[in-house]
Structure 1
Amino acid sequence: MTAQPVLYLSHGAPPLADDATWTRQLATWSADLPRPDQILIVSAHWEDAPVTVSATRPVPLVYDFWGFPQHYYDVTYAAPPAPGLADDVTRVLGQGGLRVNRDEDRGLDHGAYVPLVEMFPEADIPVLQLSMPTLDPEGLFAMGQQLSALREQGTLIIGSGFTTHNLRWFNPSHDSAAAPPAASAEFDQWAAEVMAAGEFDAVLDWMDKAPAATEAHPRSEHWAPLFVSLGAAWGTDGRQPETKSTIDGFWYGLSKRSWQLT
């Protein structure tokens, strides 16, 4: 079996699912992927320590947003549970010294199901969500390295965040395709360049290396899933992965840039 790629995608707020460009980009991307046997997704919207896996039984989605029209709360995504994957995650992270908790009431949050609805609309692939136990780049990278072994078993590992995420820039009364703030554009260009060049040390040291770092990410939770993806693509054998920018552009000033790592 060929190892699955690793993804980092910018998932957006629920209204991004109404953006025809973004939904088309995600659908086109997934059509080019080898079909995974299961999906392990790390979302910016679940921080929990120690690291925790989501329910391995059918449970409702987590609508972790407020004040939106009702139709965003009517979305469903009844993907099969993945108890075997939960066991595998527990095993490989345990080998790296991490204790794994289970939350059998925790469904997929919008950082997980919103993009999956567009990429795998049949909802016929088992999905498990994994919490971020820290926002420390090195810690998340190391966790991703331990998870890399699961790629050989047909597991698609996805980090779901946002390449820039400053909600002060978000104004739905403006044109969603308007030119982004300079800080967002500068950070996006830097991210594209260092990822293309394989300068992953700079990505992990982004607070000191990236332009407009704290403006692009007043808090780092939406950038942090990339560290897990980098570790999962790098693995424990030291082979540097290749990267491909699959989606770019901006939505209300926020960078949608996403990558595939192989």
Structure 2
Amino acid sequence: MGALHVSAAGTAYPGYPVPAPTIATTAGGPMTSHTVDPFHPATPAGAYDDLLARVLPEAREQRTWQPADGPLPALFVSHGAPPTLDDPQWLDDLYTWGRSIPKPRGIVVVSAHWEDAPVAVTGSTAGTPLYYDFGGFHPRYYALRYPTPDAADLTRRITGTLSSGTPVHQFTDRGLDHGAFIPLMAMYPAADVPVVQLSMPSLDPQALLALGERLRGLREEGILVIGSGFMTHSFAAMRNPALAGHTEAFDAWAADALARGDLDALTDYRAKAPGAQVSHPTADHFVPLLLTAGAATNPATATTAINRIWYGNSIRSLQIS
């Protein structure tokens, strides 16, 4: 996100409001020159450069998934935007998470930033240009590359899975948007895994749950299914720290509902979750969690991989078997 984001479907999303000029705090890790102000870093994407310099050789050598490993988990990632690339702890957490499971044979990701019906998929050619769906940031962020391998075989597998009774539109020139490429740049920095992004057919929680269920079998083939959103997505809480109680209550409620495997509560979060109106004034960043839950075998197995508050919002990210 930035000053303005316009999705392929033409929906405008307001960008990150710049908080008051205070020193950012990062729980659990020291601050660096890259993270004193993640909205105006001294070195744009400098923390990401540091990560690459440190981990790229071992990332290339990560063991690839084998059938004996069993199904990969389904993931829900709170993805952030360009400021993620200036937060060394966030990047380290994402990289460590990616290392904790075998390197997937392919990745299918549904991002909060692409709603298009019927379901559509991104271009599959190696090195398809990224879709820089944010504005108002330093030019460096628009020069970033994440040149993933050819994904034609993965695209055919996904469209074959979904095409029974449902048309699937394939774009040739639409690349990954920031809800996909920002977290993957840290999780799989070698850019050596084929990636396909699917659009959300709607923002209806049941529709995302059903889409996830249809993708569930791909996990048994070493394909990682990711829902990319934000556990709470409140610009109001970013501007006004007094609202943090709403996002904290929502985050705790969602974690508890998952622990109980209560998908009915999660799909009816507008009525049942405390702080829902503040935490998610729009549905786009929450419903990818339903995609992840649908792709999982047992939602009650959810474990938290990342758990922090960032400018009043929860960046809780989850792994579900």
TM-score, normalised to structure 1, is 0.92
Q: Match for residue 247 of structure 2?
A: 184
Q: Distance in 1 between matches of 2:242 and 2:168?
A: 43
Q: Distance in 2 between matches of 1:27 and 1:240?
A: 23
Q: List structure 1 runs of 4+ shifted beyond 3 angstroms.
A: none
Percent identity over paired residues: 46
Correspondence 1:154-233 to 2 at 5 A: 154-171=222-239, 181-233=244-296
Q: Which runs of 5+ in 2 are unaligned?
A: 1-66
Helix, strand or coil at the partner of 2:296: helix
Is 1:251 matched with 2:314? no
Q: Match for residue 153 of structure 2?
A: 84
Q: Match for 1:56: what amino acid?
A: S
Q: Distance in 2 between matches of 1:42 and 1:81?
A: 19
**Cα-Cα RMSD:** 1.6
1:110-137 CA distances to partner (integer Å, 9 max, x unpaired)? 1101000100000001111100011111
Count of matched residue positions in the alignment of Structure 1 and Structure 2:
252
Q: Distance in 2 between matches of 1:83 and 1:182?
A: 45
TM-score, normalised to structure 2, is 0.75
Task: Quote the offset at 1:71 in angstroms.
Answer: 1.6
Is 1:137 matched with 2:205? yes
Task: Quote the offset at 1:224 in angstroms.
Answer: 1.0
Q: 221, 231, 236: which is aligned to 1:153?
A: 221
Helix, strand or coil at the partner of 1:8: strand
Deviates more, 1:224-233 or 1:178-187: 178-187
- Say if 1:117 and 1:123, in contact at 8 Å, map to a contact too: yes
Change (3 A) 1:28 1:179: farther
Q: 122, 129, 132: which is aligned to 1:63?
A: 132
Q: Match for residue 143 of structure 2?
A: 74
1:36-90 CA distances to partner (integer Å, 9 max, x unpaired)? 0000011101111110000011321011001011121121100113111111111
Q: Which runs of 5+ in 1 are unaligned?
A: none
Ranked by relative contact order (alpha carbons within 8 Å, sequence separation 6 or more), the top structure is: 1
Deviates more, 1:36-45 or 1:195-204: 195-204
Task: Quote the offset at 1:170 in angstroms.
Answer: 2.8
Deviates more, 1:32-41 or 1:79-88: 79-88
Task: Quote the offset at 1:22 in angstroms.
Answer: 0.9
